[in-house]
Chain A
Amino acid sequence: MNYPLHLAILVLLWGYIYTSWSLMGRLGLVSFGHGAFMGIGAYTVVMLWNHFGLTPWLGALAALVFTAVVAVIIGYPCFRFRIVGHYFALVTLALSEVTRLVIVALRDQTGGSLGATPNGALHGDTVALGALQFAAKEVWLVIVFACWLGGLWVWRLVDRSMGRLALQAISEEEEAAASIGIHVTRAKLRITIISALMTCVGGILYAQYQLYVNPDTVSGIAISLQMVFGVIAGGMFVMLGPTVGAAFTLLLAEGLRLAFGNRYPALDTTIYGVMLVLFIIYMPKGILGAALDAFKRRPA
């Protein structure tokens, strides 16, 4: 019972994080920097807890403020100076790597590439609310489910707002959008901050659920690419697409692991890589996007 529960939690948690990324990605802001926001969330909370005994609730607040500051420092100049497309992707990629390297370089505090474990607060109890640690997976399922619903709700809010139309106009033709009075920098910055903060929350929950953080699994270019590709596989233009992507990639990895054991450790990523290439070439709307298109076409 624990294993399917664990899978469900991971699918929902990654589904939520992928959804956060898509808020920007589907409007033409392809970021390779979300690993940074996730890493900041995970590490700020764990470090404040381990070194100062600060409860993760306040730690989360600190992490959110920190994330917002970083998002503005990177986002504002990028948008102000019209850094778009390839350049935006590569600048944000630098941000991911800086975050990972800072975590590794501060190895006396963070444990470096070996990662770190939040100090245990359960002591035989099943719930340590102040430390945000829960032994029961059911509790986590409820938490991540609520979080995931919250993510979808934000998606819906954004979708129905004027801001979305503005951003869509910007992603089509930035100069034209600016000429009809859209404040390009402000519109982009707003969605970036929302997306970054949501990703930060994902990082916090991931760290508290796994009770382990590692610079390579919560920050850096690898995790940022994982987000981008999960979203592409699922489809970034429909609300449930990112979640479908998370479910698909996770179940593929677990399925192959069950089928072959640990004999072929990288088989899932190999297949995954090939599928991604095929997806982008033949099915750029992703699994869910293509399925919905096919469904719509049939009755007509």
Chain B
Amino acid sequence: MNEVFDIFLLEAVLNGLLLGGLLALLSLGLNLIFGVIDVVWICYAELIMCGMYTVYYLHVQYHWPLVLAMLAAIAVVALLGLILHQFVIRPVLSAEPINQLLVTGGVLFFLQAAATLAFGIEFKNLGVTLPSVRFGEMSFSGARLIAFGIALGGMVGLYLLLTKTYLGTAIRAISQDRAIMPLMGVNPARIFALTSALGGALAGLAACLLVLQYDIHPAIGLSFGPITFLICVLGGLGNMLGGFVAAFIFAQFIAVGGFFFALEWGYVIAFAFFIAVMFWRPRGIFGK
């Protein structure tokens, strides 16, 4: 009896690990944007929703091959990120910081409602089921394993981009000192635009992985948006490594808490943990 219990607990822990990879990817784009532009995209999860719909429509309605549809979705969301920055964020860059938070909240309302108008409130499903992988007495969904792998791959890719290329160096430099970089010949407006597109592309990548596991509906952003923000804050806003670690901590709370109690309690415990940590380290676990 005891042994069975432990096996299931181990399964919950490992599933938490897989969830952690996905959450880490979700937090990555948001942290990148915040670190460089100093803006929180409250509508980040809604951009992901747009990506999910793109995959769905291209694949199911227009019969594009799945991989092609996913690449297209990444491009579409990258473009959305660019548009968001140029037309919504740029005009308020010099306004009070909280206005930048609120203006993207307006975009959240807009995207969610526009998706309801355009696609209806029905849950849509890609209809692709990947076989689950059995390991001893435990089984893991194939989609989760793939998502975990690609999420890790995406993070390594971003790391290489930021450390090995000129663009990455410029992005890192501007996140360290916004005032000096223009004097060094870096054009901040261009870097901001590119960063926004990159953040959008990461959201698009997340969309491709989420669409394999979850049904799509206009309010889906609200179901994982808040977690993403909390992970970023927990790790220290703008701190990508912190966000990475925080994602795995959070995922364990959700998975193991949900294993012992109901799923909602897993979230409640994770959120309560978040609030407690904020009082201990107001700038996040890895904050300065």
Contacts of A82 in B (CB 8 A): 282
Contact check, B116 vs A265: say whether CB atoms are below 8 A apart: yes
Q: Which residue of A lies closest to B90 (CB)?
A: A281
User: How far apart are the CA atoms of A65 and B265 in the complex, in Å?
Assistant: 24
Contact with B along A173-188 (1 / 0, CB 8 A): 0000000000000000
Contacts of B229 in A (CB 8 A): 90, 93
Contacts of B97 in A (CB 8 A): 85-86
Partner among B113, B233, B265 whose Cβ is within 8 Å of the Cβ of A105: B265
Which of A9-17, A46-54, A94-102, A153-161 sits within the interface?
A94-102
Partner among B109, B226, B275 whose Cβ is within 8 Å of the Cβ of A229: B109
Partner among B95, B110, B222, B264 whose Cβ is within 8 Å of the Cβ of A284: B95
Contact check, B107 vs A91: say whether CB atoms are below 8 A apart: no
Residue A267 interfacial (CB < 8 Å): yes
User: How far apart are the CA atoms of A264 and B120 in the complex, in Å?
Assistant: 9
Nearest CB of B to A104, in Å: 5
> 8 Å CB contacts to B: which residues of A76-118?
77-78, 81-83, 85-87, 89-91, 93-95, 97-98, 101-102, 104-105
Which of B16-24, B72-80, B98-106, B176-184 sits within the interface?
B98-106
Nearest CB of B to A18, in Å: 14
The dominant DSSP class at the A interface is helix
User: How far apart are the CA atoms of A87 and B267 in the complex, in Å?
Assistant: 20
Q: Using A277-B110, A281-B91 as known contacts, say yes or no to A98 and B99 having CB atoms under 8 A apart.
A: no
Partner among A101, A228, A279 whose Cβ is within 8 Å of the Cβ of B271: A101
Contact check, A277 vs B108: say whether CB atoms are below 8 A apart: no
User: How far apart are the CA atoms of A136 and B261 in the complex, in Å?
Assistant: 44
Contact check, B116 vs A98: say whether CB atoms are below 8 A apart: no
Residue B117 interfacial (CB < 8 Å): yes
Nearest CB of B to A230, in Å: 11
Residue A205 interfacial (CB < 8 Å): no
Contact check, A104 vs B102: say whether CB atoms are below 8 A apart: no
User: How far apart are the CA atoms of A89 and B226 in the complex, in Å?
Assistant: 12
Counting contact residues on chain B (CB < 8 A from A), the size range is 35 or more
Residue B279 interfacial (CB < 8 Å): yes
Q: Which residue of A lies closest to B109 (CB)?
A: A273
Contact with B along A253-276 (1 / 0, CB 8 A): 000000000001111111011111
Residue B150 interfacial (CB < 8 Å): no
Residue A30 interfacial (CB < 8 Å): yes
Contacts of A274 in B (CB 8 A): 106, 110
Residue B138 interfacial (CB < 8 Å): no
Contacts of B15 in A (CB 8 A): none
User: How far apart are the CA atoms of A222 and B221 in the complex, in Å?
Assistant: 11
Q: Using A93-B226, A270-B117, A273-B110 as known contacts, say yes or no to A101 and B105 having CB atoms under 8 A apart.
A: no
Residue B230 interfacial (CB < 8 Å): yes
User: How far apart are the CA atoms of A94 and B218 in the complex, in Å?
Assistant: 21
Contact with B along A55-92 (1 / 0, CB 8 A): 00000000000000000001001100111011101110
User: How far apart are the CA atoms of A292 and B225 in the complex, in Å?
Assistant: 37
Contact check, A225 vs B109: say whether CB atoms are below 8 A apart: yes
Q: Using A86-B237, A281-B91 as known contacts, say yes or no to A101 and B275 having CB atoms under 8 A apart.
A: no
Contact check, A277 vs B88: say whether CB atoms are below 8 A apart: yes
Most B C-beta atoms less than 10 A away, residue of A95, A273, A279: A273
Contact check, A98 vs B275: say whether CB atoms are below 8 A apart: yes
Nearest CB of B to A256, in Å: 11
User: How far apart are the CA atoms of A251 and B166 in the complex, in Å?
Assistant: 53
Contact check, A86 vs B278: say whether CB atoms are below 8 A apart: no
Nearest CB of B to A26, in Å: 11
User: How far apart are the CA atoms of A275 and B102 in the complex, in Å?
Assistant: 12
Contacts of A281 in B (CB 8 A): 88, 91-92, 103
Partner among B88, B117, B222 whose Cβ is within 8 Å of the Cβ of A266: B117
> 8 Å CB contacts to A: which residues of B263-285?
264-265, 267-268, 271-272, 274-275, 278-279, 282-283
Q: Which residue of A lies closest to B34 (CB)?
A: A86
Q: Which residue of A lies closest to B262 (CB)?
A: A105
Contacts of A98 in B (CB 8 A): 268, 271-272, 275
Contact check, B107 vs A277: say whether CB atoms are below 8 A apart: yes
Q: Using A86-B40, A86-B101, A281-B92 as known contacts, say yes or no to A94 and B282 having CB atoms under 8 A apart.
A: no
Contacts of B116 in A (CB 8 A): 265-266, 269
> 8 Å CB contacts to B: which residues of A127-181?
none
User: How far apart are the CA atoms of A103 and B109 in the complex, in Å?
Assistant: 24
Contacts of A225 in B (CB 8 A): 105, 108-109
User: How far apart are the CA atoms of A90 and B104 in the complex, in Å?
Assistant: 14
Residue A280 interfacial (CB < 8 Å): yes
Q: Using A232-B102, A273-B107, A284-B99 as known contacts, say yes or no to A266 and B114 having CB atoms under 8 A apart.
A: yes
User: How far apart are the CA atoms of A232 and B98 in the complex, in Å?
Assistant: 12
Contact with A along B114-156 (1 / 0, CB 8 A): 1011000100000000000000000000000000000000000
Contacts of A89 in B (CB 8 A): 98, 101
Nearest CB of B to A168, in Å: 14
Contacts of A77 in B (CB 8 A): 278-279
| Residues of A in contact with B (beta carbons under 8 Å apart) | 28, 30, 74, 77-78, 81-83, 85-87, 89-91, 93-95, 97-98, 101-102, 104-105, 221-222, 225, 228-229, 232, 264-270, 272-277, 279-281, 284
Question: What are 11 residue pairs bridging A and B, where the CB atoms are less than 8 Å apart in the complex?
Answer: A86-B40, A86-B101, A87-B283, A90-B40, A101-B267, A266-B114, A273-B108, A273-B114, A275-B106, A276-B102, A280-B103
